[in-house]
Homo-oligomer: A and B are copies of this chain.
Amino acid sequence: MKNLSRRLNPLMRTIVVLLFFASAAHAQTDPLPSWNDGPAKKAIVDFVQTTTTQGSPKFVPAPERVATFDQDGTLWVEQPAYSQLMYCLDRVPAVVKAKPELAKVEPFKTVLSGNREAIAKLSMQDLLKIAAATLSGMSVDDFATETKKWIESAKDRRWNRLYTELTYLPMQEVLKYLRANGYRTYIVTGGGQDFVRQYAEAVYGIPPEQVVGTAGETKFGYDKSGKPFLTKEAKLMLNDNDAGKAQGIHLMIGRRPHAAFGNSTGDRQMLEYTGAGDGARLMMLVMHDDAAREYAYGPAQGLPASKVGTFTQQLYDEAMKNGWTVISMKKDWNEIFAFE
Contacts and interface: CB of A to CB of B under 8 A. Distances in A.
A46 interface: no
Contact of A247 (B217, B238, B269): B217
A250 B276 contact: no
B276 A63 contact: no
Interface stretch (A51-59, A222-230, A301-309): A222-230
A18 interface: no
A201 interface: yes
Interface string A6-23: 011101100000000000
Among the interface residues A193, A247, A269, which one has the most CB atoms of the partner chain B within 10 A?
A247
B276 A207 contact: no
Given A12-B12, A228-B269, A255 B220 contact: no
A237 to B, nearest CB: 7
A272 interface: yes
Nearest to A12: B12
A246 interface: yes
Interface stretch (A70-78, A119-127, A149-157, A208-216): A208-216
Interface residues of A, number: 38
Q: Report copies per complex.
A: 2
Contact of A254 (B197, B250, B269, B276): B197
Contacts of A193: 251, 254
Among the interface residues A12, A63, A217, A276, which one has the most CB atoms of the partner chain B within 10 A?
A276
Interface in A232-247: 237-238, 243, 246-247
A189 interface: no
A273 interface: yes
17 contacts: A7-B11, A8-B9, A9-B12, A208-B253, A208-B254, A208-B255, A209-B253, A211-B254, A215-B251, A218-B247, A220-B269, A228-B246, A228-B269, A228-B272, A228-B276, A230-B246, A237-B237
Interface of A: 7-9, 11-12, 63, 140, 193-194, 197, 201, 207-209, 211, 215, 217-218, 220, 227-230, 237-238, 243, 246-247, 250-255, 269, 272-273, 276
